[in-house]
Structure 1
Amino acid sequence: MLPFVLGLLEALKTDEALATVVRIAASDEIAGRADPQQTGAIVNALNLAAMNSPTGGPTEPDRVVGRDFLHAASARPASEDQWASLLCALRFFGDETSLGLISACPPLPPHWEPVRKSAVRAIRKAMKRPD
C-alpha cells in the first residue's frame, strides 16, 4: 500500500502532498521498520515531492523532520542508486550537519557523482539565505 500512496502524493505536486510525505517519514510505524525498500521509496518521494513543490520546497519544520529521516536512512542505503536519491533529497532538506554525511558518502558511478556537488551547492546556498 505504501508505494501506491507515495506515488499518488508524488503525482499531486502540491505543498500538502509534500507535508504528507514528511508526516509519513516521521510516523512511528515507518520509523520502527528497517525495510530498505520502504526507506528508499520514502527517500525518493521526499525528493520528488520537494522538487515539485509549487513554493520551492518544505517548510522549516518539515525540513527538520525530513532531514532527520534522511540522516537516519544514510546509515543503511543498499545501493548506489539509493545513495544518489538520498543526496538528491538532501538538496531540499539538508543543512550544515548534512555536509559531513555527503562527504562520507562512498564514491558513486560517474553518472551519479554530480549529484553530490549539487547537494552541497544547494545546502550552501540555503545556508546563505536570511531567515
Structure 2
Amino acid sequence: MTITFNHTIVAAFDREESAYFLTDLFGLPAPKPFGHFLAVELNHGVTLDYAQVPDGDDIRPQHYAFLVSEDEFDAIYGRIRERGIRHWADPRGIHEGRINHNDGGRGVYFQDPAGHYLEIITRPYGSGRG
C-alpha cells in the first residue's frame, strides 16, 4: 500500500501557544511557519499544521494519539508531571494522575491549550491480543 498520512490542520485559539506546547512537551524541533500555519513535523514528514481560529470562534476538541517509544514516554510523562499538567489513565478522565497499561504498554491522556485531547501510548491498540 502506498497511502501515507501527510498532515492535518489543528485549530488553536493561539497557534503559537499550542504548537510550542507540543514541541516543548515532546522534545521536537520548533514549529515552522507555512503560510498561515505553524507546522510541527513528526516522523515520516507528517505535520500537524496549527491554525489560529478567528476571535470568538469555538473549537471542537479533537483527539490526537501518538505512538512513542518507552524512553520517549518516560521523557514526555516526566515533563507532564513536572509542569503539573492534568492527566488521566482513561479517555473519560476518571483515573486522574495515573497512566494505563493497555496492551502491555503504557498510555496517558491530557489536553493541550486549545482543549484537544492528546494521548501518548507505547503499544498500538490491539497489539497485546492473541
Fold-level similarity (TM above 0.5): no
TM-score (normalised: structure 1): 0.29
Q: Which has the higher helix share?
A: 1
Q: Which has the higher strand share?
A: 2
TM-score (normalised: structure 2): 0.29
